[in-house]
A and B are shown apart, each in its own frame.
Chain A
Amino acid sequence: MTVSPDMQRNMLRQMQTIRRFEEHASEGFLAGDIYGVVHCYIGEEAVAVGVCATLTREDKIISTHRGHGHCIAKGADLKRMMAELYGRETGYCKGKGGSMHIADFEIGMLGANGIVAGGISIITGAGLAAQMDGNGAVAVCFFGDGASNAGPFHESINIAASWKLPVIYVCENNLWAVNVPAENSLAVTDVAARAAGYGIPGKIVDGNDALAVYEAASEAVAHARNGGGPTLIECKTYRHRAHTERADQPDARPKAEIEAWMAKDPIDQLAAHLKGQQGQLTEDEWAAMDADVMSEVEAAIAFAKASPFPSTDSVSQDVFAD
C-alpha cells in the first residue's frame, strides 16, 4: 500500500501537533493553569494518526482518558480543546468536561472517557447505528491493554462479531496499565490473540510506525465497510511520560525500557522516512512545519487564556435537554 508524500506530510504534521499540544498541556499542568489530571499520549501518536487517516468525517471514534491525540487526529479544533483544559467557557464542553471528557460530535468524536473500558460498548452502538442506517460508515474504538482485561471488551466484541458490526477495535498496548506491567495482568502475550475467541481477524502492528498502522487500519476499515464485521488491531507502542502529569509521581517503569522506546520515536521515524524518500521533506521544511505547529498551539493557548471562565449560571445548565 502506498501513501502519497502529501498524505505522509499531513500525518507527520498531525503527530507533531499532538506532541506540541501535549507538551504545553504538561507545562500548563505543572504551572497550575490546568487542573485535575492530564494523561499525555506522547509517544503513541502514530496510532491515532495512522488510524484516523483512513476515516471520513462520517465515521465515528471513541477515546479513553488519554484522549487528546484521538481528538486532534479526528480533526478537533485546538483552541476549543485547549480552552477546555483551561476550564473556560469557550472549551468544547464549556469548561464542564476537562481533559477526560473532550468530545466533538460534529466530527464523529464521541468523547474521551474517564472509565477504563467505558467507551468500548458505546462505540459498538455507533457501529450498530451505522449498520442500521446502511450508510457505510464505520466506528473505531481506541482503548488500552488494561481495558482488554475488562468485561466490556468481551461483551462488546462478542456482540459486534455476532452481528457483524462495522467496528474496528484498536488496542494501544503501551505495556503498562497505570503502574502495573501488562504482562502481569494479561493471560496472553498479545491482545490480538484474543480475536480468535470471537472469530474475527486479529492483527499485531508496530504502533510506532504510522504507515504500518495506516495499512492495517485501511484493511480493517475496508473489511468493515464491506460487511465483513469487526477487526481487532493491537498496536504495540509506549508512552514516553508517566501515567499522568504529576511532578511528584514516581514512574514504575525501568529507565532502560523508557529510553529504548524513546529511541523508536514515531515522529522521528516518519520524518526520517520522508526525508529519505528522495527528499520529500527537507530539514528546512521540517523546521518550518514545526514552527507552524508551534504557532498554532500558541494561538490555542492565547485563546484559552483570554477566554472567560464559565458563568456561574451555567453550573445548572445542560443537565437535561429541553
Chain B
Amino acid sequence: MPTQILMPALSPTMEDGKLAKWMVKEGDMLTSGMVIAEIETDKATMEVEAVDEGKLSQILIAEGTENVKVNTPIAVILDEGESASDIAPVTAPPPSAATNGASAPAANTQPAPPSAPAPTAAPTPVVSAPVAPMAIVAPELDVPAGTTFATITMREALRDAMAEEMRRDGDVFLMGEEVAQYQGAYKVSQGLLEEFGDKRVIDTPITEQGFAGIGVGAAMSGLKPIVEFMTWNFAMQAIDQIINSAAKTLYMSGGQMGCPIVFRGPNGAAARVAAQHSQCYSAWYAHVPGLKVVSPSNAADAKGLLKSAIRDPNPVLVLENEMLYGTQADVPEMDDWLVPIGKAKIVKPGNDVTIVSFARGMTYANEAAAQLAQQGIDAEVIDLRSLRPIDWDTIIASVRKTNRIVTVEEAWPVCSVGSEICAQVAIHAFDHLDAPPAKVSGADVPMPYAANLETLALPSVEQVVHAAKSVCYAL
C-alpha cells in the first residue's frame, strides 16, 4: 500500500514550518535514514530522514512552501510492486495563511479545516511514524528562573557547544574527517568552517591513528583539540593513542602534563549498517583510568556535557548516537549551560523499581516506564549521562529506595556498563535488594544486517518492561 510522508513535528509546540528544500526527486529510491528534505521553523533548520523505504512517486508540497502544517502529507512512496495507480488521490491542505487559526489536520484522522477542500474519499493510506522521534527532558534543576529554552536537535546542540567554546577560547579547535568543507559526515559541524576558518576547523585524511595522535600532541603542546571520529567504530584504529597516550600521560609523567582533549562522534548501533559500523564502546572506554566518558541521551545534556568536556583538563570521550542526532529537546538559552561530568539525572522519580540507562537506551527506558505506569508500577528512571566517573551515589540511593534495579544498554552483555552497575549494586546495596538485579542489553552477537535480525540484536521496550515486572515479581 502506498505510504504517505507527513510534515514532521520538530518540537511539541510546532504547528507549521517551511518545507525549505527537497533533497530527493520523484522517482528516487528512498532508503531508511536517507535525508530527503530540509525543514525550517523560526527556531531551527532540520533534515528530514526517510523512515520507510520505497520509490518516491510523488512530491505533494513544492520546496519553498511556507506554513506547511504538521502532519500534512508532503510526499508519497511506493513499495516494491506497487504502481502509481495504487496511490490514493491526496489533496493537501493549502499551506497558506488562509488556514491560520484552523486546527492542523492530522492526516485523515481529523476533519479538514473549513478553508481546505475536503479530501477525496479513498482507502486510508498507511501513515508513517513521526520522522523525528522526540526526546524531551525536563531542564536541570539549577537553571535560573526565567531562563528561556530553544528547541533544537542534538546535532545542533553539539554544534552550538563547540561554537560557543571556540568563541570563548582560541586554543580550542576541531579536526576530523570531513568536519570542515563537508560540515561533518553527520552535519554536526555545520557553519563552523565559515565562522572559524580552516586553521581551526581542519579536515584530516582517513587516518584515525594519525590524527588522534596529532590531537594528543597538540594537546600536550598547549592546545585544546576536539577530535571527531566519523564513528567510534573507526576509532579502534586510534585506540592506542586514546589509551596509551591520552589516558596515561598524566600518570606516567608524574603529573607533569595531562592531555586536555575531546574525542567525540557517534557510537552504538545505527540503522542497517551491520557489524563493523554498529558497536557500542561504552564499556571499552569506561574501563580506562585517566579517561572521562560521557554519553548523552538528549540535546540539552549533549550541549552541556560537550561544553564541560571541552573545558575539562582531562581527555574526555563523548559517545554520541547517530539515531539521536535528529531528536530535539529544550535547551536552556544561557551563556554557560554546563552539565557536570559524573552526575546522573533522575529523569522520572519512582518507588517500585530503578531503571538505569544512557544514550539511546534511554528511549527504551522512558517508554518502558510509561507503559509500566499504566500497569501500576512506578519506575524511577536514571539517565547516567556519564560512564566514567559513574554517579554511584545516585544509583545506590535509588536502589535503597526501590529495592530493585534494571539496567538498559545497547552494548554487548559481557563485562558491560550494566554488568558493572549490577555488581556495584550487589556489593553496596545487597541487603536492600528484593530481587536479583536484571540486565537488558544488546544480544551477544555481532550486529546483523537483515532488519528482522537487527531488531533481535537490540534491546526493546518489551524487554525492559518484562525485566522490570520480573524484578517486581509482577509477571
Residue positions of A touching B, CB distance < 8 A: 60, 62, 91-97, 101, 103-106, 110-111, 114-115, 118, 120-130, 132, 139, 151-152, 155-156, 158-159, 162, 317-322
Contact in complex: A125, B240 (CB < 8 Å): no
B213 and A125 within 8 A (CB)? yes
Q: Which residues on B sit within 8 Å (CB–CB) of A93?
A: 252-254, 256
Q: Are B213 and A121 in contact (CB under 8 A)?
A: yes
* Distance of A303 Cα from B253 Cα, bound (Å): 20
Checking B214, B250, B252 against A121 with a beta-carbon cut-off of 8 angstroms, the contacting residue is B214
The interface residues of chain B lying within 8 Å CB-to-CB of A111 are 249, 252-253
- For the complex of A and B, the 4 pairs showing the least CB-CB separation, nearest first, are A125-B217, A121-B213, A155-B210, A94-B254
**Could you name 7 residue pairs across A and B whose Cβ atoms are closer than 8 Å?**
A111-B252, A121-B213, A124-B213, A125-B216, A158-B207, A158-B210, A319-B251
Cβ-defined contact, B209 with A151, below 8 A: yes
Minimum CB–CB distance from A82 to chain B (whole Å) comes to 15
* B210 contacts A105, C-beta separation under 8 Å: no
Cα distance A74–B255 in the bound complex, in angstroms:
20
Give B211-222 as 1s and 0s: 1 = Cβ < 8 Å from A's Cβ atoms.
111111111111
For the complex with contacts A92-B253, A96-B251, 19 further pairs of A-B residues with Cβ separation under 8 Å are A93-B256, A103-B253, A105-B253, A111-B249, A115-B240, A121-B213, A121-B216, A122-B216, A122-B220, A124-B217, A125-B217, A128-B218, A132-B199, A152-B209, A152-B210, A156-B213, A162-B205, A319-B289, A321-B313
Determine if B109 is an interface residue (Cβ-Cβ < 8 Å): no
- The reply to whether A159 and B207 contact each other, CB–CB distance below 8 Å, is yes
Q: In the complex the two chains form, what is the Cα distance from A96 to B204 in whole Å?
A: 34
Given contacts A115-B244, A155-B207, A156-B210, contact A122 B254 (CB under 8 A): no
Residues of A contacting B225 in the complex (Cβ-Cβ under 8 angstroms): 125
A320 near B207: Cβ-Cβ < 8 Å? no
Interface size on B, residues (CB 8 A): 41
Report the separation of the CA atoms of residues A104 and B173 in the bound assembly, to the nearest whole angstrom: 25
Complex alpha-carbon distance, A151 and B211, angstroms? 12
Q: How far is the CB of A86 from chain B (nearest CB, A)?
A: 14
Residue of B whose beta carbon sits closest to that of A112 = B252
Q: How far is the CA of A316 from the CA of B52 in the complex (A)?
A: 52
**Shortest beta-carbon distance from A322 to chain B in Å:** 7
**Residue B314 CB within 8 A of the other chain:** yes
Residue of B220, B222, B254 most packed against chain A (CB within 10 A): B254
Cross-chain contact A320 with B290 (CB below 8 angstroms):
yes
* Closest residue on chain A to residue B204 by CB atoms: A159
Residues of B within 8 A of A (CB): 173, 199, 204-205, 207, 209-223, 225, 240-241, 244-245, 249-258, 260, 289-290, 292, 313-314
Determine if B222 and A129 form an interchain contact, defined as CB atoms under 8 angstroms apart. yes
Q: From B205, B212, B220, B260, name the one whose CB has the most chain A CB atoms within 10 angstroms.
A: B220
Do A103 and B257 touch across chains, with their CB atoms under 8 A apart? Answer: yes
Contacts of B252 in A (CB 8 A): 93, 96-97, 101, 103, 111
Query: Which residues of A are found within 8 Å of B220, using beta-carbon distances?
Result: 105, 110, 122, 125-126
Tell me the bound Cα distance from A87 to B250 in angstroms. Answer: 17
Residues of A within 8 A of B292 (CB): 320
Determine if B173 and A132 form an interchain contact, defined as CB atoms under 8 angstroms apart. Answer: yes
* Complex alpha-carbon distance, A92 and B214, angstroms: 24
How many angstroms between the C-alpha atoms of A130 and B199 in the bound complex? 12
* Residues on the B chain within 8 Å of A320, using CB: 250, 290, 292, 314
**Of B211, B217, B245, B254, which is within 8 A of A126 by CB?**
B217
Chain B residues in 8 Å Cβ range of A162:
205
CA A93 – CA B207 in complex, angstroms?
Answer: 31
B221 close to A155 (CB less than 8 A): no
Minimum Cβ distance to chain A for residue B235 (Å)? 14
Determine if A118 and B256 form an interchain contact, defined as CB atoms under 8 angstroms apart: no
Known: A110-B220, A122-B220, A125-B213. A155 touches B205 (CB 8 A): yes
A96 to B253, alpha carbons, bound, how many Å? 7
CB distance from B211 to the nearest CB of A (A): 7
A95 and B253 CA atoms in complex are apart in Å by 9
Task: Collect the chain A residues with CB atoms within 8 Å of residue B213's CB.
Answer: 118, 120-122, 124-125, 152, 156
Flag if A322 contacts B313 (CB, 8 Å): yes
> Which residues of chain A have C-beta atoms less than 8 A from B255's C-beta?
94, 317-318
Max count, chain B CB within 10 A of own CB: residue among A124, A125, A127: A125
Partner of A159 from B211, B221, B256 at Cβ < 8 Å: B211
Complex contacts, B207 vs chain A, CB 8 Å: 155, 158-159
